[in-house]
C-alpha cells in the first residue's frame, strides 16, 4: 500500500496503473514534484508482471510483447454512465478490465497461457432517460458493431483469431454482431460473457440489485476503494412498471431510467464491503479462467461425431 501526499486535483491526471509502473521503475520518486497529476490518497500496488510479459495493452509497450505469442485477446466492454451517486462513470469499464487482468494472470500462472487484455471500450447502449443525464454517453448498435468489426479485422489480419468479450454493462448485447462476424470471419472465434452473471450473486450479497448496488460497489471497493465516495450514495430505490406482464418479463420494454430511479441506482449499496467483493471476484475469475483455458487449448469447439457402430 502506497500513501501519497495530497495535492490539488488538476484537469488531467494519470491513472493508478501508470503510477504503479512509475514507482516500480523509479522507486522513491512518489512525491508530487515527480508526479504532479496524481491526487488519490491511497493506491494499491499491483505486483509486476511475470515471465509472460505485459498482458495489459493499456500499459504495454511494443518491446515487451513483440516476441510473445498470445492465445487469446480479451476485450472488456463497458459504458459511460452515472452509477448511483458514489461510483465512477466508468465503473463498467474499470471492473470488467480488472477482472480480465486478474483472470489473464491466473491462467498464465496455472497453465502458461498468454492472453492480451485490450483497453476497455467505453461506448455503451443506454436506456431512455439515461442520456438526459450529464455526460452519459449513448452508443448506437451500429457504432458498437463498427468498433467490434474493426477490432476483429485487425486481430484477424495479425493472425490472432480468438477473442473473449467481457461485458460489464447490462445494456450491451453482442449476439447479433457476433453472428454477423462469424459469417464474415468463419475462422475467427468470438465468445461473449457478462462477468456479473457468471456466478449467481445470492450467496455473496444481501441486497438484490440491478445497477450500482451492493454487488458493483463491493467489487469496486475490492479493486479501487479510493474511487468509491460512499457518503454520496443514494439508497437505490426503484419503481417497477405498472403492468404486471412487464414486471413478470412476459415482454421487454426499455425502462425510462428517470422514471425508474431518482439517484440512477437500482439496489441499495450501503451493505457493500471489500471482502464481499473479493470473494465474489475470486469465484468469477475461477470460472472465467476455465473458459480461457478451454478456448486456448481447443481448436475444435464441437464434439466429434463418430460413425455409427464405432467407439
Q: Is 308 exposed, middle or buried (0-12, 13-18, 19+ CB in 10 A)?
A: exposed
Superfamily holding 49-297? Creatininase (3.40.50.10310)
Helix (H, G, I), strand (E, B) or coil at 32: coil
Closest among 222, 250, 276, 216 to 91, alpha carbons compared: 216
Query: What does the block give as the cell for 255?
Result: 425502462
The pTM of this model reads 0.83
Parts of the chain with a pLDDT under 70: 1-53, 309-311
Query: What does the block give as the cell for 277?
Result: 467483493
Q: Give the residue extent of every domain in the chain.
A: 1-48, 49-297
DSSP assignment of 34-86 equals: T-TT---SEE--PPPP-TT---BTTT--HHHHTT---SEEEEEE--B--BTTT
Quote the CA–CA distance of 237 and 229 in Å, as a whole number: 18
The confidence score (pLDDT) of residue 158 equals 98
Q: Is 185 exposed, middle or buried (0-12, 13-18, 19+ CB in 10 A)?
A: middle
Query: What does the block give as the cell for 163?
Result: 477473442
The rounded Cα 216 to chain-centroid distance in angstroms is 11
The confidence score (pLDDT) of residue 52 equals 58
**Which residues does 103 contact at the CB level (< 8 Å), separation at least 6?**
74, 115, 285, 288, 289, 292
Direct distance between the N- and C-terminal alpha carbons of the chain, in angstroms, rounded to an integer:
58
**Which residues does 303 contact at the CB level (< 8 Å), separation at least 6?**
none
User: Is 275 within 8 Å of 252 (Cβ atoms)?
Assistant: no
Amino acid at each position: 500500500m502506497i500513501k501519497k501526499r495530497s495535492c490539488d486535483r488538476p484537469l488531467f491526471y494519470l491513472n493508478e496503473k501508470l503510477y504503479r509502473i512509475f514507482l516500480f521503475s523509479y522507486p522513491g520518486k512518489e512525491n508530487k514534484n515527480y508526479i504532479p497529476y496524481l491526487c488519490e490518497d491511497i493506491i494499491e500496488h499491483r505486483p509486476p508482471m511475470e515471465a509472460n510479459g505485459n498482458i495489459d495493452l493499456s500499459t504495454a509497450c511494443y518491446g515487451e510483447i513483440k516476441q510473445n505469442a498470445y492465445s487469446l485477446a480479451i476485450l472488456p466492454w463497458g459504458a459511460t454512465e452515472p452509477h448511483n451517486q458514489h461510483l465512477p462513470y466508468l465503473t463498467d469499464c474499470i471492473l470488467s478490465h480488472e477482472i480480465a487482468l486478474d483472470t489473464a494472470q491466473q491462467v498464465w500462472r496455472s497453465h502458461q497461457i498468454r492472453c492480451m487484455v485490450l483497453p476497455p471500450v467505453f461506448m455503451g447502449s443506454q436506456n431512455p432517460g439515461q442520456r438526459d443525464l450529464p455526460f452519459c454517453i449513448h452508443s448506437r448498435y451500429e457504432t458498437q458493431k463498427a468498433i467490434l468489426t474493426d477490432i476483429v479485422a485487425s486481430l484477424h489480419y495479425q493472425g490472432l483469431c480468438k477473442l473473449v468479450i467481457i461485458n460489464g454493462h447490462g445494456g450491451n448485447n453482442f449476439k447479433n454482431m457476433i453472428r454477423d462476424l462469424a459469417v464474415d470471419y468463419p475462422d475467427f472465434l468470438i465468445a461473449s460473457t457478462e462477468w456479473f452473471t457468471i456466478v449467481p450473486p445470492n450467496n455473496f450479497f444481501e441486497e438484490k440489485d440491478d445497477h450500482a448496488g451492493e454487488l458493483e460497489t463491493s467489487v469496486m471497493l475490492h479493486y479501487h476503494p479510493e474511487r468509491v465516495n460512499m457518503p454520496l450514495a443514494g439508497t437505490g430505490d426503484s419503481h417497477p412498471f405498472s403492468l404486471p406482464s412487464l414486471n413478470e418479463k412476459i415482454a421487454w420494454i426499455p425502462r425510462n431510467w428517470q422514471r425508474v430511479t431518482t439517484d440512477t441506482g437500482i439496489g441499495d449499496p450501503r451493505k457493500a464491503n471489500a471482502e464481499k467483493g473479493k470473494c465474489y471476484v475470486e469465484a468469477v475469475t475461477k470460472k472465467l479462467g476455465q473458459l480461457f483455458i478451454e478456448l486456448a487449448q481447443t481448436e475444435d469447439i464441437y464434439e466429434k461425431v463418430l460413425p455409427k457402430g464405432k467407439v
